[in-house]
Structure 1
C-alpha cells in the first residue's frame, strides 16, 4: 500500500513539475519578480496545492476515470463540461509543445545540442514510451521526482550555508524581472490554476487507476505536499541567486554549474526527465481523450499531436512561458472553482463509496482465499454493493476481483 501511494504521489509530482518549475523559468516570472513577497506567495500556494492535490486524485479514483471528460461530465452541466473539455484539450496540447521547447532549450544550454535536435529527441521518446503498459508508465513518470528533490536540497545547501546576502540588492534586481501578473495574489492563483490545467487530465487518469479511495486521498495529499515544498525551496534559491540567473532560459541549471560541472550535467539530465514527464503526460492524456470511444485511435492521435507540437515548439521556450502560461492560468480559475464545488457536494458520497469498496474487497477476498469461506450470502451482498456503486456494476465487480486475485497471488509468491 505504501509503495502504491508513493508511486502515485511521485507520478503526480512528475506531471505537475515540468520544464518551467524544475528549470526555474516560470518561478522567476511568477514569484521571484515580486521579491520577498513572492516567497510568501509560494507558501500560500503550497496550502492550495495540498488541498487540490487530494481533491483531484480522489475524484479520479471515485469515478474510476480513464480521461478528464469522464469526471467533468459527472460534476458539471453539459455546457460547462464542453467548455472545460475544450480548454483542457487546448491546455494539454499547448503546454505539451512548450515542454518540447523546454527540452530543446535545456539540452542546448548544457550540451550545445541544436535546439531542434533536443526537442526532436524528447518528441520521439514520448511516442516510444506510450507503447509501455500503464503500470510501467507510472513508474517512468515518477522516477525523476526523488532525484530532483535531492538535487534541489543540494543546491539549497550550497546557496544558503555560509553565505550572506544583500537583501536590498536582491530586491532591486528581482523587480527588474518582467512578470506577466499585476500582483502577487493574481500570480499565486494564476500559477496554481495553470498547474491544474496542465496536470488535471493525467492526474484524473492516475486517480482512475486506484481502486481504494483511501490510497487516492493519501497519494494526492502527499503529491501536493511535495509539489509545495519544491516550489517554495526553489523560489528561495532563485531569489538568492537572482543576480546570476535573471537573464537565462534555465535558471536552476545556471546555479548547478556554479557547484560543479558534473553536478550540472546530472541536473540537466534530471530536468530533461521532468520535461519529458510533463510532455508525455499531456500528450498521453490528450490521446486518451480523443480515443476513449475508439481505442484504435490512440496511437494515431498521440503521434499526430506530438508531430504538430514539435513543429510549434520552435517559437521558443522562454517566450512561450511568458505568453501561454498566463492565458491558461486564467482559464484554470473556472476549473478550480468547479473542482472545489464538486468536492464539497460529493464529499459524503465519496466517503460512502470508500467504505462500499472496502466491503466489496473483504467479501471477494473470501472467494479467492483458501483459508476463508465464500457463501451464497456473501455473493449476493457483493452483487448488491456493486449495484450501489457510483461506477458501472459489472466494471467495479470485475476490477475488484482482478485486484484481489493479483494481490493474493503476489502475497503467495512473496512467501
Structure 2
C-alpha cells in the first residue's frame, strides 16, 4: 500500500464528512450535544454505521467494478428498490448541497455582515468550477484540505472545552433537564439520533466510495476511511464537550462554532469563519457532483450545463429557506431512510460472504 494514497483517501473522507453542519457545529449540536450526558451513545452508533457501510461500499464497488457509483444500490436492493435508492440518494445529495449553500450564506451574514445571498453565490461558484473537473479532481482537492480543516476545528473546540471545563457538569445538567429548547434529532432517543446521523451519511458516501472503490486499491481506500473514523468522531466528541461546557451561549446560536471562536478572540472568529467556509466547500463539491452525475455523464456539455444550473438553483433556495430548519428536516428524514438501506446491505453482504 502507498501511505500517500492512504492519507489522501483519509483526507478525502474527512473533507467530505465535514460540511456545513459539522464545520458550523450546528449538526453536532442537534444530533449529539443536545443529548447532554448521553452524547457518547450517538457518536458510538454513528461511528459503527460509518465504518461498516463504507467498508461495504468500497468492497462491493471494487468487486463489481462499477462504472457508475450509484449502481451500488441495485447490488444491494435489486433492480426496482435499487433504482429508487439510486435516484433518491442523488436527490438527497443535491438537497444536502443546498444545505451547504445555506450554511455558507448564514456564516457570511452572521460573521461578516454580508447581504443575504452573497455567501451562497461565492460557494456555488467555487463548487461548480471544481465539480466540472470531475471525481478525480474532487478527490485530490479534498485530500489536501480535509486534515487541515479538522486540525483547526479541533484547536478551537479543545481550547473551548478546556476553558469551560469547570462548567461542564452544570452544562450537562442544563441539557439533560431541558433548561434550553434545543433543536434535536431523534425525539429524545440517542440511539435513534445515532441511527439517523449514520443514515444520512450513508446516502452521501454510497456512490462516492462505491465509485472510488471500483477505481482504486480497496485496501488503501478502506485503511484511509478507517483512519478518518478516528479523526472525525474524536473531534465530534471534543466539539460536544465544548458546546455543552458553553451551553449558555451556544444553545441558540445559528453558527455555534463562531460563537466559541468569538469567545476566544474576535480575530480568531474571523479566521474561523474562513475555515468554516472551506469546510462547507469540501463537502459541497462531491454532493453536487453526485446529484448531477445521475442525470448526465461526467465531462459532457450536458453535465457542465446541469452543474451550472444546479449550483444556481441551490443559491436561490438557500437564500429563502432558513438554514437551521433546512438542515434539521433534510438530514433527519433522509437519515432514517438511509438506515433502512442498512438492512438490505447486511442481507447482501452475508449472502456474498457465504458464497465466497
Q: Distance in 2 between matches of 1:348 and 1:217?
A: 21
Which residue of the partner structure matches residue 87 of structure 1? 88
CA change 1:110–1:337 in 2 (3 A) is same
Question: Please, what TM-score do these two structures have when normalized by structure 2?
Answer: 0.90
Is the CA contact (8 Å cut-off) linking 1:14 and 1:144 kept in structure 2? Answer: yes
Which residue of the partner structure matches residue 101 of structure 1? 102
SS at match of 2:224: helix
Which deviates further from its counterpart, 228-237 or 170-179? 170-179
- Describe the superposition over 1:240-288 as per-residue Cα deviations: whole angstroms up to 9, x where unpaired: 1211111111101210122223322222112111111221111111222
- Describe the superposition over 1:143-172 as per-residue Cα deviations: whole angstroms up to 9, x where unpaired: 332123222332243224364125244422
Mapping 1:359-398, distance limit 5 Å: none
Is the CA contact (8 Å cut-off) linking 2:47 and 2:198 kept in structure 1? Answer: no
Which deviates further from its counterpart, 4-13 or 218-227? 218-227
SS at match of 1:61: helix
Which residue of the partner structure matches residue 411 of structure 1? none
**In the comparison of the two structures, how many residue pairs are matched?**
349
CA change 1:328–1:138 in 2 (3 A) is same
Is the CA contact (8 Å cut-off) linking 2:37 and 2:172 kept in structure 1? Answer: no
Which residue of the partner structure matches residue 205 of structure 2? 199
Q: Distance in 2 between matches of 1:115 and 1:199?
A: 31
Q: Distance in 1 between matches of 2:302 and 2:92?
A: 20
Matching residue within 248, 252, 277 for 1:247: 252
Which residue of the partner structure matches residue 333 of structure 1? 339
Is the CA contact (8 Å cut-off) linking 1:96 and 1:309 kept in structure 2? Answer: yes
Which residue of the partner structure matches residue 208 of structure 1? 214
Matching residue within 310, 315, 322 for 1:310: 315
Q: Distance in 2 between matches of 1:11 and 1:348?
A: 32
Is the CA contact (8 Å cut-off) linking 2:59 and 2:218 kept in structure 1? Answer: yes
SS at match of 1:266: helix
Matching residue within 165, 168, 176 for 2:167: 165
Is the CA contact (8 Å cut-off) linking 1:54 and 1:218 kept in structure 2? Answer: no
Q: Distance in 2 between matches of 1:303 and 1:178?
A: 33
Q: Distance in 2 between matches of 1:206 and 1:108?
A: 36
Question: Please, what TM-score do these two structures have when normalized by structure 1?
Answer: 0.78
Is the CA contact (8 Å cut-off) linking 2:36 and 2:173 kept in structure 1? Answer: yes
CA change 1:228–1:52 in 2 (3 A) is farther
> Which residues of structure 1 form unaligned runs of 5+?
353-415
Is the CA contact (8 Å cut-off) linking 1:102 and 1:275 kept in structure 2? Answer: yes
Which residue of the partner structure matches residue 389 of structure 1? none
Which residue of the partner structure matches residue 322 of structure 1? 328
Q: Distance in 1 between matches of 2:271 and 2:349?
A: 40
Q: Distance in 1 between matches of 2:120 and 2:228?
A: 28
CA change 1:107–1:197 in 2 (3 A) is same
CA change 1:43–1:114 in 2 (3 A) is same
- Describe the superposition over 1:346-374 as per-residue Cα deviations: whole angstroms up to 9, x where unpaired: 3478xx8xxxxxxxxxxxxxxxxxxxxxx
How far residue 134 of structure 1 moved from its aligned partner, in angstroms, is 4.2
Higher relative contact order (CA 8 A, sep 6+): 2
- Computing the radius of gyration from Cα coordinates, the structure with the larger value is 1
CA change 1:348–1:293 in 2 (3 A) is farther
Which residue of the partner structure matches residue 286 of structure 2? 281
Is the CA contact (8 Å cut-off) linking 2:61 and 2:210 kept in structure 1? Answer: yes
SS at match of 1:143: helix
Query: Is 1:270 paired with 2:275?
Result: yes
Is the CA contact (8 Å cut-off) linking 2:97 and 2:314 kept in structure 1? Answer: yes
Is the CA contact (8 Å cut-off) linking 2:258 and 2:273 kept in structure 1? Answer: yes
Is the CA contact (8 Å cut-off) linking 2:71 and 2:86 kept in structure 1? Answer: no
CA change 1:92–1:70 in 2 (3 A) is same
Is the CA contact (8 Å cut-off) linking 2:131 and 2:286 kept in structure 1? Answer: no
Which residue of the partner structure matches residue 16 of structure 2? 15
User: What CA RMSD, in Å, does the superposition of the two structures yield over aligned residues?
Assistant: 2.3
SS at match of 1:113: coil
Which residue of the partner structure matches residue 68 of structure 1? 69
Is the CA contact (8 Å cut-off) linking 1:57 and 1:219 kept in structure 2? Answer: no
Q: Distance in 2 between matches of 1:267 and 1:59?
A: 38
Q: Distance in 1 between matches of 2:225 and 2:68?
A: 17
> Which residues of structure 2 form unaligned runs of 5+?
none
Q: Distance in 1 between matches of 2:343 and 2:107?
A: 35
Is the CA contact (8 Å cut-off) linking 1:11 and 1:138 kept in structure 2? Answer: yes
